[in-house]
Amino acid sequence: MEDKNIITNLTLQQMNQSDALGFNTEFISQSHDSNFDLLGKAFQNTGRIYARLKMAVDNGNCVSENCVYELNQLKRLQEAPQASLDFISSLLSQLEITESSNFDPNNSYEYTVANCIFKNKPGFSKTDGYNIYLNLLEDSSQEIIFEGPMFTKELPHPLDPSYMVRVENPLIINSVALESLSESGTTIVSETPDINKEMLALLPEVGLFTAESMMEGGQLSPTAIISEEFVLKNPDGSFDYEIIDLGNGKGRNVLKYDMNKIESKTNPFINAEVAGLLSDEQSAVAAWNVYISKGTSVEEDDQMVQSANAGDDSWSYKTDLPLQQPHKKLFEIKYKQYFVENYLKQFITNQLPTVKEDAAVFDLAEAKKAKAQKFLDDNNLN
């Protein structure tokens, strides 16, 4: 099912972003009825029902003792219009998550289809076989039912179980259930956290950068550098450089960093960030599926976030929630790797020496001889 969600959600996204239907002569030659008249159908008989109940109460002809049932139903009908608007607004705000650029396609594709119907997307009209119903229930709750070609499921044929038949399987959402989930901080569609924004905010907080690297508002300056205390040095206090080959026999020194010390410094800050993410587990699953699992680069996330999802490594909203400790530990490990590879690495890779004479380009052969001689001198091997 997870693969079906991914494939269907990505297909729907491509359809909605494509201009192909604009060049489909069959589509543009036909009328498409998108008037679902959701509220009109729901309330078409309520006036008559309300009048009958009101008359029963006024005339003392109630079927219930002290007209309790009739009065409750009158109250339900009086409050129903505003309740319907609130219900639809709440549902739409969650279905719209399917349109976000970093939407996790492991979410149920049925919610993407439901959003397409609500938003009158081409191909999801009554003409195409779709419909929506709003029902007012006697317990004062309401339900919205989505029907159409993509709301189906396969079941074994009653006469031949080896043969699968496709049957209608409408999507039904109850107002009380939706409100209960919302009040507990849960949504039917998982919203993916903005990992790029969160990690950019985390960078200046981890305590690695010089005071001069900080700008007003706590942001890093474009010329930010890591403090000297995290740079590796030789026993004599000089910098321990790595030599990079520039080609044509030339080389250059670059700084080497104490990764153990950097990790020790950053871990408390990253752990706090991870703990915050894991406090909203469905969002953590979305972050894992879209970003963390595959360790995609920032550029990949921006350019192809939908295609770079976790695939076979995806976590399921149905079977992996609540997250067990092994999942949480793996998330923490991969989150740290993602932070280092995509955000911290640029500040510790090919950084030039702060000592001017050490930053000059030099002859590689001579540098190797000098390094070998220094090794001999330092170890009294001459």
Say which residue the tokens 């640029």 belong to.
346
* Secondary structure (3-state) at 134: strand
Q: Which helix (H) or strand (E) holds 282?
A: helix 281-287
Sheet with strand 171-174: strands edge to edge = 131-136, 142-147, 171-174
- The first and second tokens of residue 377, run together, are 């001198």
> Which pLDDT value is given to residue 202?
93
> Which pLDDT value is given to residue 306?
47
Nearest to 111 by CA among 125, 131, 126, 97: 97
> Which pLDDT value is given to residue 376?
47
Say which residue the tokens 């609130």 belong to.
86
Distance of alpha carbon 275 from alpha carbon 107, whole angstroms? 23
> Which pLDDT value is given to residue 304?
46
- The first and second tokens of residue 333, run together, are 């490990």
Q: Which helix (H) or strand (E) holds 193?
A: none
Mean pLDDT by 10 residues, the chain (382 residues): 83 83 72 84 89 91 90 90 94 96 94 95 92 93 96 85 86 96 94 92 93 88 92 89 87 92 95 94 95 72 51 87 95 94 92 88 77 55 54
| Alpha carbon separation from 357 to 232, 252, 353, 361 (Å, rounded) | 18, 11, 9, 9
Q: At 258, which amino acid appears?
A: D
| Alpha carbon separation from 310 to 35, 105, 233, 284, 306 (Å, rounded) | 38, 10, 40, 13, 10
The domain segmentation of the chain, as residue ranges, is: 2-183, 192-382
Q: Tell me how crowded residue 130 is: count the other CB atoms within 10 A of its CB.
A: 21
